């Protein structure tokens, strides 16, 4: 496997980052997870825009243009002969002395991995996921905005561990007010009386690229969609529910905390959304 690392393509074995990189020492950096479908990078420009917003929010000034990063992303896929896969684009604060101060790091680093990902077993896309609410709350946005896709994923990782302890593959994180924020690596949607509803990003959700595609799909399918505060009660009593994410794509949810959602089977609207999503990923995107 060839990895793009600071302007060069290197073998996987030579793709190394210093132990003095603040991305490793302090989680000081940002990243994107991007999908490649049939030679098209799905919504690459939106991902690169979000990367720029994340970097700006942590005062990390990226010395590369969007075009340079976009070209490097496509070239990484080509170098690895990939037509379908998962792209991990990481920007770190770079090498610096010990100490938190980011100004100890003169030069940020960038690397791009293009590989495969399978987040959930294939059968869960037809049977639906059974998920749980975990005690770990989504990080308070006044402390650290969940909209920043940073290298600090411990909040999500702890929730993921708790999900596993309860025998589930994914977990709902509530925000500090008790409203549903999102899952560990996915946004959440419910369908109630024909309406698609998702928590606002201000409730502690990442502004998912897949989430934004769902708004376009709802328009295409002429289904009403809106952002609203959401409680566990709303999810228990929804007709359908599904999660979205670059790795997860669109996956039905059939149970939360032991309560069956709707019929306990993936819902009809969810199926239509999933089919539309699968059509779109093959046509939308940047050709590598
Ligand atoms: N919320 C969180 C916390 C995420 O990490 C999403 C929502 C969905 O956003 P997108 O833009 O992907 O629709 C994410 C994304 C992984 C992995 O390796 C996780 C994500 C994306 C890609 C890979 O588990 N999470």
pLDDT single digits (tens) 150-209: 999 999 999 999 999 999 999 999 999 999 999 999 999 999 999 999 999 999 999 999
pLDDT tens digits for 135-151? Answer: 999 999 999 999 999 99
Instruction: Please report the atom of ligand 1 found closest to the CA of residue 246.
Output: 12
Class of domain 2-115: alpha beta
Confidence of residue 262 (pLDDT cuts 50, 70, 90): very high
pLDDT tens digit sequence for 12-63:
999 999 999 999 999 999 999 999 999 999 999 999 999 999 999 999 999 9
Give the Å distance between the CA of 281 and the centre of ligand 1. Answer: 16
Handedness of CA 148, 149, 154, 157 (dihedral sign): positive
pLDDT of 268 > 90? The answer is yes
**pLDDT of residue 117 exceeding 90:** no
Q: Is 268 a catalytic residue?
A: no
pLDDT at 284: 87
pLDDT of 275 strictly over 90: yes
Secondary structure of residue 218 in the 3-state scheme: helix
Q: What residues line ligand 1, using a CB cutoff of 6 Å?
A: 33, 119, 156, 182, 185-187, 206, 208-211, 244-247
194-243, pLDDT tens digit by residue?
A: 999 999 999 999 999 999 999 999 999 999 999 999 999 999 999 999 99
Fold that domain 124-285 belongs to in CATH: D-amino Acid Aminotransferase; Chain A, domain 2 (3.20.10)
Instruction: Report the 3 state secondary structure along 162-214.
Output: HHHHCCCCCEEEECCCCCEEEECCCEEEEEECCEEEECCHHHCCCCCHHHHHH
Instruction: Say if 2-115 and 124-285 have the same CATH topology.
Output: no
Cβ 146 vs Cβ 204: under 8 Å: yes
The structural domains of the chain, with segments of one domain joined by +, span: 2-115, 124-285
pLDDT of residue 119 exceeding 90, the answer is no
* Ligand 1 atom at minimal distance to the Cα of residue 182: 1
Residue nearest (by alpha carbon) to ligand 1 atom 24: 185
What percentage of the chain has pLDDT greater than the value 90?
A: 98
Residue 128, pLDDT score:
97
Identify which of 32, 246, 248, 280 to mutate to test ligand 1's pocket (most ligand atoms within 8 A of the CB): 246
Q: Give residue 245 CA to ligand 1 midpoint distance, Å.
A: 5
Nearest CA to ligand 1 atom 10: 208
Dist CA 2 CA 114 (whole Å): 8
Quote the ligand 1 centre to 58 CA distance (angstroms).
19
Q: Mean pLDDT over all residues of the chain?
A: 97
Q: Which of 8, 67, 149, 265 is catalytic?
A: 149
- Residue 118's pLDDT is 83
Q: Say whether 34 sits in a helix, a strand or coil.
A: strand
| Residue whose CA lies nearest to ligand 1 atom number 9 | 208
Average pLDDT over residues 262-280: 97
- What percentage of the chain has pLDDT greater than the value 70? 100
For ligand 1, the distance from its centroid to the CA atom of residue 97, given in whole angstroms, is: 31
Residue 6 has pLDDT above 90, yes or no: yes
Indicate yes or no: pTM above 0.85: yes
């Amino acid at each position: 496997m060839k990895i793009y690392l600071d302007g060069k393509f290197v073998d996987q074995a030579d793709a190394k980052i210093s132990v003095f990189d603040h991305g490793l020492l302090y989680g000081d950096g940002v990243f994107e997870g991007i999908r490649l479908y049939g030679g098209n990078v799905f919504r690459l420009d939106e991902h690169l825009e979000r990367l720029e917003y994340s970097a700006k929010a942590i005062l990390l000034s990226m010395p590369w243009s969007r075009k340079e990063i976009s070209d490097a992303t496509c070239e990484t896929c080509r170098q690895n002969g990939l037509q379908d896969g998962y792209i991990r684009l990481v920007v770190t604060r770079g090498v610096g002395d010990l100490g938190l101060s980011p100004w100890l790091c003169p030069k940020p680093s960038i690397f791009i991995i293009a590989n495969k990902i399978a987040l959930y077993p294939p059968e869960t896309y037809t049977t639906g996921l059974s998920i749980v609410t975990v005690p770990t709350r989504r990080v308070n946005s006044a402390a650290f905005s969940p909209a920043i896709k940073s290298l600090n994923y411990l909040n999500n990782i702890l929730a993921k561990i708790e999900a596993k302890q309860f025998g589930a593959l994914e977990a709902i994180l509530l925000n500090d007010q008790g409203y549903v924020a999102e899952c560990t690596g996915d946004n959440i949607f419910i369908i109630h009386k024909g309406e698609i509803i998702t928590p606002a990003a201000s409730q502690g959700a990442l502004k998912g690229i897949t989430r934004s595609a769902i708004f376009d799909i709802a328009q295409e399918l002429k289904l009403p969609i809106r952002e609203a505060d959401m409680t566990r009660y709303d999810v228990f009593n929804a007709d359908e529910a599904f999660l979205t994410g670059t790795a997860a794509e669109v996956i039905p949810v059939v149970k939360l905390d032991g309560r069956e959602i709707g019929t306990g089977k993936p819902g009809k609207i969810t199926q239509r959304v999933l089919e539309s999503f699968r059509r779109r990923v093959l046509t939308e995107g940047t050709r590598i």
